[in-house]
A and B are shown apart, each in its own frame.
Chain A
Amino acid sequence: MEIDSNIRQQVMDRLQLVTDPEMNTVSIIEMGMVENVRGQLPKVTIELIPTYVGCPALDMIKRDVIESVRQVDGVEEVEVVFLKHPAWTSDRISPEGREKMKEFGIAPPPAAGPGGTWTVECPYCGSPKTVMQNLFGPTSCRSIFYCSSCKNPFEAIKPV
């Protein structure tokens, strides 16, 4: 039979433990990557929305999801499907996710979609006096900024 709300909740609890490997304070739920959980025990299918197309973390996330959800009683097989639609956009990141990003020293993306340059507040001191140093950063989804107030360099998620 189709998984019930109890199993669904247990699966979601396990998914909450799966984090972005390059930002391990933020879960994939908070990243807005989990679109749907479905299936019939003993099999569960997790539909995920990939963030950046070329993101090498996706394979790791898939593996972590399988390992984590398999812990739920009654689940023997876990399937992970990456959806092509809808496209992931940076406004899918939840308010909790945005806060946890800051704890990791990464500024969450501004609300607007892709734009040439933009401004963000420093994740360390909250100052708006920041300067973009490079639109591109250590991963495809990040840019590099510098805070003129607390003198820290930091990264910010690009809006897409």
Chain B
Amino acid sequence: MSKQYANAQEALQDASYTSALKELLYQLADDDLLISHRASEWLGLVPHIEEDVAFSSIAQNTLGHAAMFYQLLEELGEGTPDDLAHLREADKFRNSILAEKPNGTGHYTEDPDYDWGYAIIRNYVYEVFKRLRLEALTTSSYTPLADVAAKVLREQFYHLYHWETWIDQLAGTTAEAESRLNNAIQKTWQDVASLFDLGPAGEDIQKFGLIGSMEDIKNKFVAKVRAKFEGAGLKWPGDMKAGEFSGRECKHTEDLRSALEEIGEVYRLDPAANW
């Protein structure tokens, strides 16, 4: 049983604990920030207006989750949530590669050729992972993180449910739907391993009991996603292979840099401005 820390003051007494805790919090916050940014780029481009309402609501909520994790970092002296989200360079971000991948080619303002199949599969996979990770955080040795996880879990239910509904409704309809979903699974699988990486501080993160076993999360993930895909008549893509880099080591694709430029564009004009 690892030692429990009730608040930031207690955690800050223990330097190696705090260092592992911050690494994990950056992973949680940056994942949600990037996936919600990619979601926001879909605004006005999704298949129908009801989806616009739903997907943008999920995006806003997910951004709120990121803000909550950034707040936990602020309590540990890392700076304000706004600064953390808008002023850091790409080589300070710990998000998974899956969360930063663009929605397709083009830009949302110009010739967007986005792939809705990829949106469904990427977000479904992300939300399954996120749910299992949140569940594993409810017993975290850092009480404020366990509390936040319990709270986020309740609303995140609806996000996962949304993407499950898309798969249920599309799979088994037309050959085109099936092939597009299968292609999207292949594409998603290139980056799926990046989700499960805890980065260079991984051993400490597990040792300090900051999160439940990642191995356990991975096994549950495989069982759940495999059952869903196969139940929907889609192809299970098999083992996940680690990519060139995972993101947890602050190594990223060029796409993250351009995304961050856009995320912080307005804020950087005048960081002292009052919104």
- Which residues on A are within 8 Å of B, measured CB to CB? 52-56, 84-85, 87-89, 113-114, 116, 133-140, 144, 158, 160
CB<8 Å pairs between A and B, sample of 17: A52-B61, A53-B61, A53-B67, A53-B152, A54-B62, A54-B64, A54-B65, A84-B147, A84-B148, A87-B154, A89-B154, A134-B50, A134-B53, A136-B158, A139-B57, A158-B158, A160-B157
Secondary structure at chain B's binding surface: helix, strand, loop or mixed?
helix
The answer on a CB contact under 8 Å between A160 and B155 is: yes
Considering the complex of A and B, which 6 residue pairs feature the smallest CB-CB distances, nearest first? A54-B64, A136-B54, A84-B147, A87-B151, A136-B57, A114-B157
User: CA separation between A89 and B65, bound complex, in Å?
Assistant: 17
**Chain B residue with the shortest CB-CB distance to A87:** B151
At the interface, yes or no: B58 with Cβ under 8 Å from chain A?
Answer: yes
Q: Decide yes or no whether B68 CB sits under 8 A from chain A.
A: yes
Check B61–A84 contact: CB distance below 8 A.
Answer: no
| B residues in contact with A113, CB < 8 Å | 154
Closest residue of chain A to B36 (Cβ to Cβ) is: A54
Residues of A within 8 A of B161 (CB): 116, 135
Residues on the B chain within 8 Å of A84, using CB:
144, 147-148, 151
Residue from the list B53, B60, B162 in contact with A54, Cβ < 8 A = B60
Which residues of the other chain, A, contact B157 by a CB distance below 8 angstroms? Answer: 114, 160
Assuming the contacts A84-B147, A134-B50, A140-B61, asked whether A53 and B162 have C-beta atoms less than 8 A apart, the reply is no
Complexed CA–CA distance, A13 and B157 (Å) = 36
Minimum CB–CB distance for A100 against chain B, Å: 23
Q: Is there contact, CB below 8 Å, between A137 and B53? A: yes
A residues near B50, Cβ cutoff 8 Å: 133-134
The answer to whether the Cβ of B150 comes within 8 Å of any Cβ in the partner chain is yes
Tell me, rounded to whole Å, the shortest Cβ–Cβ distance linking A42 to chain B. 26
Query: Which of B53, B155, B158 is the one whose CB lies under 8 Å from A53?
Result: B155
A52, B147: Cβ atoms closer than 8 Å: no
In the complex the two chains form, what is the Cα distance from A88 to B152 in whole Å? 10
Tell yes or no: B63 within 8 A of A by CB.
yes
Chain B hits for A85, CB < 8 A:
143, 147, 150
Cα distance, A134 to B158, chains bound together (Å) = 11
Point out the residues of chain A lying under 8 angstroms from B158, CB to CB.
114, 135-136, 158
Q: Which residues of A contact B148 (CB under 8 A)?
A: 84
With contacts A53-B152, A87-B150, A136-B54 known, what are 9 further pairs, Cβ within 8 A?
A53-B65, A54-B61, A84-B147, A85-B147, A87-B147, A114-B157, A135-B161, A137-B53, A158-B158
Q: A52-B61, A54-B62, A54-B63 are in contact. Are A136 and B53 (CB under 8 A)?
A: yes
User: Which residues of B have CB within 8 Å of A160?
Assistant: 154-155, 157
Task: Report the separation of the CA atoms of residues A106 and B158 in the bound assembly, to the nearest whole angstrom.
Answer: 19
Contact call B67/A136, Cβ cutoff below 8 A: no
Contacts of A138 on B, CB cut-off 8 Å?
53
Asked whether A136 lies within 8 Å of B162 as measured between CB atoms, the reply is yes
B residues 53-101 near A (Cβ < 8 Å) are 53-54, 57-58, 60-65, 67-68
Whole-angstrom CA separation of A114 from B154 in the bound complex: 7
Residue of B nearest to A115 (CB): B157
Taking the closest CB of chain B, its distance from the CB of A54, in whole angstroms, is 2
- A residues near B57, Cβ cutoff 8 Å: 136-137, 139-140
Do residues B155 and A135 form an inter-chain contact, with CB atoms below 8 A? no
Mark B23-60 against chain A: 1 for CB-CB distance below 8 A, else 0.
00000000000000000000000000010011001101
Query: A158 CA to B174 CA in the complex, in Å?
Result: 33
Cα distance A134–B67 in the bound complex, in angstroms:
26
B162 to A, closest residue via Cβ? A135
**Most B C-beta atoms less than 10 A away, residue of A85, A87, A116, A136:** A136
Q: Which residue of B lies closest to A54 (CB)?
A: B64
Hey, which chain A residues are within 8 Å of B67, CB to CB? 53-54
Known: A114-B154, A135-B162. A53 touches B54 (CB 8 A): no
